[in-house]
Amino acid sequence: MVHLGPKPPQHRKGSLHDVPEALLKELEQLESVFNVSAETLRKITDHFVLELEKGLSKKGGNIPMIPGWVLDFPTGKETGDYLAIDLGGTNLRVVLVKLGGNRDFDTTQSKYPLPATMRTAKSEELWDFIAGCLKKFVEDEYPEGVTEPLPLGFTFSYPASQSSINEGFLQRWTKGFDIDGVEGRDVVPMLQEAIKKENVPIEVVALINDTTGTLVASAYTDPETKMGLIFGTGCNGAYYDVCGEIPKLEGQFHGDVAGESLMAINCEYGAFDNELAVLPRSKFDHQIDAESPRPGQQAFEKMISGYYLGEVLRLALLDLSAKGIFFKDQDLSKLNQPFILDTSFPARIEEDPYENLSDVQDLFQQELGIQTTDAERSVIRRLAEVIGERSARLSVCGIAAICKKRGYKTAHAAADGSVFNKYPGFKERAAKGLRDIFQWETKEDPIIIVPAEDGSGVGAAVIAALTEKRLREGKSVGAKKN
């Protein structure tokens, strides 16, 4: 099979032939820091498999491997109207999902950008904000009111421990969130309380992770779906495992749930390798971690996910400038601000179609007040490429590890999130990363990443439907109570 390698330098935008020798040397050094070889990918994947297993063991490990108590694989025949909210890293989405029962659905949704201050707001502000958005949505959609409380599936995109489908104790905030008074507590009653205050007729019936939602939404329409993935502000995956192979849940199953039943697991593998056994972490990653609200957590995520990509680039640029070979005599006060470059910044650098990288020039001038030289722009472009490439290549180790653990030789891995959907080249680089890991000799790749089905809100609705059905049938939706 012929794979496309990197384009030869003479065809690349912003070619490096004008770059002075000293700067070129520094760039090569940075390229080698961010380069992840096929061999390293395979080594990381093998360790990943062990870590997934460790997370399911009684003793536990770095990766939380949270049992999600979603105990059914959707048949595609589920029907009914459900509300879903999706609290992600950047938006709150409220969705009304009408499940058609023939692997089809209709959605009506509103998106409410999370105010920038929300990451560090007070707990009540967060819940009141969500309840307020829900109230508005329900009033718009049901101007005549409703006769029965609307069942709601709550997609909460943070690690939350569950011993049943309708609870979630936040283990710790991730993705830069740092709201006091939520960690260690069950978020469902907090939301339900705020909904009650607003007097909205809604009952929260299921709490799920965005990866679980993505998994179930895609499984509703595509039975080949083996996992749900988010490559966005954060990075994570969910898949179905066999209950009998979850040692930490031993003795907790009851009713219809037995050893051979399947359960969705929210891996929370952004925490992979927090002990840094295999990840090739650079000094920039160390700095990001040390300065984050939760140092030592989410080691994998901090190297690859959207919340951090611009920051890695910023630190690499400052490093070059500190060596006196970059941005000479420029005002760097803006560039010195942590997190000033969101992911759209490296994405726009990579998208610049012009030979002289004039879009990059405008970007640095307009957003940072920095005037760039031709050579600097070529280096900036190359840096964005290697950082983006590292992200995509490392990201797929989670997919490969789940496939190896479950013995999947073929799979559809359903993916969502801003990096997957918008970062240039991510999909191609990720596919190449998988090929490097598995070294397939087949014409078609047997494990492919496919765009997920319309957001995890649909998954939350399907899970709410599955949960209501289980409850009607008197089946269990959580662990045995002692």
Residue 405 CB neighbour total at 10 angstroms = 17
Q: How far is the CB of 165 from ligand BG6 (least distance, A)?
A: 17
DSSP state of 366: I
Q: Using the rule CB under 6 A, is 311 a contact of ligand BG6?
A: no
Q: Using the rule CB under 6 A, is 165 a contact of ligand BG6?
A: no
Calpha distance 291→74 (Å, rounded): 42
Q: How far is the CB of 209 from ligand BG6 (least distance, A)?
A: 9
In degrees, rounded to 5, the angle at the alpha carbon of residue 389 between the alpha carbons of residues 387 and 390 is 65
Closest-CA residue to 13 (of 313, 345, 381, 348): 381
Q: How far is the CB of 317 from ligand BG6 (least distance, A)?
A: 23
Residue type for position 279: L
Span from 63-71, 258-266, 326-334, 414-422 in contact with ligand BG6 (CB under 6 A): 414-422
Q: Which is nearer to ligand GLC, 14 or 89 (CB)?
A: 89
- Give Cα separations from 19 to 11, 23, 359, 422 (angstroms): 16, 7, 19, 30
Q: Looking at residues 324 to 383 of the shown chain, list those that interact with ligand BG6 (rule: CB under 6 A).
A: none
SS3 assignment, position 248: helix
Pick one of ligand GLC, ligand BG6, none as the site partner of residue 159 (Cβ within 5 to 8 A by kind): ligand GLC
Q: Which is nearer to ligand GLC, 76 or 234 (CB)?
A: 234
Kindly list the residues in this chain that would bind ligand GLC in the complex (CB under 6 A): 88-89, 157-159, 174-175, 209-211, 230, 232-236, 268, 270, 301
Strands 150-156 and 202-208: parallel
Q: Using the rule CB under 6 A, is 287 a contact of ligand BG6?
A: no
DSSP state of 336: T
The residues facing 97 across adjacent strands are: 82, 107
Q: Using the rule CB under 6 A, is 417 a contact of ligand BG6?
A: yes
Taking a C-beta distance cutoff of 8 angstroms, is the pair 119, 176 a contact?
yes
Q: How far is the CB of 160 from ligand GLC (least distance, A)?
A: 8
Q: How far is the CB of 266 from ligand GLC (least distance, A)?
A: 7
Q: Looking at residues 104 to 133 of the shown chain, list those that interact with ligand BG6 (rule: CB under 6 A).
A: none
Out of 72, 86, 186, 210, the active site residue is 210
Out of 172, 381, 382, 429, the active site residue is 172
Tokens of 433: 């990363």
Q: Using the rule CB under 6 A, is 90 a contact of ligand BG6?
A: yes
Calpha distance 194→134 (Å, rounded): 10
Closest-CA residue to 229 (of 428, 459, 445): 459
Q: Using the rule CB under 6 A, is 306 a contact of ligand BG6?
A: yes
Calpha distance 434→436 (Å, rounded): 5
Please confirm, yes or no, whether 210 is among the known catalytic residues: yes
Residues labelled as active-site residues: 157, 172, 210
Task: Give the footprint of ligand BG6 on this chain (CB under 6 A).
Answer: 86, 88-90, 155, 157, 210, 213, 230, 232-233, 306, 416-418, 455-457
